[in-house]
């Protein structure tokens, strides 16, 4: 039982999955925070083009 606990404590295979999950969450938060800014800028461009066509 002691040998099993030592090998279990040294096993880091799950840490990589957690790290990838944290990276994916960070990228998702960055994308979600940028989308409203892009939408506002895109709306301004379409409004300018629409005004120029009139």
Q: State pLDDT tens for residues 36-54.
A: 999 899 999 999 999 999 7
* Gap between the Cα atoms of 19 and 12, Å rounded: 11
Distances (CA, A) of 2 to 6, 8, 9, 14, 47: 6, 10, 11, 21, 70
pTM value is 0.56
Running DSSP on this structure, what letter comes out for residue 54? -
Residue with tokens 């009139």: 54
Q: ∠ CA 37-28-24 to the nearest 5 degrees?
A: 155
Instruction: Give 5-40 pLDDT, tens digit per residue.
Output: 778 777 766 777 888 999 999 999 999 999 999 989
């Amino acid at each position: 039982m002691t040998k099993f606990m030592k090998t279990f404590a040294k096993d880091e295979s799950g840490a990589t999955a957690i790290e990838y999950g944290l990276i994916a969450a960070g990228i998702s938060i960055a994308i979600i925070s940028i989308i409203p800014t892009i939408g506002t800028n895109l709306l301004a461009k379409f409004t300018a083009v629409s005004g120029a066509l009139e």
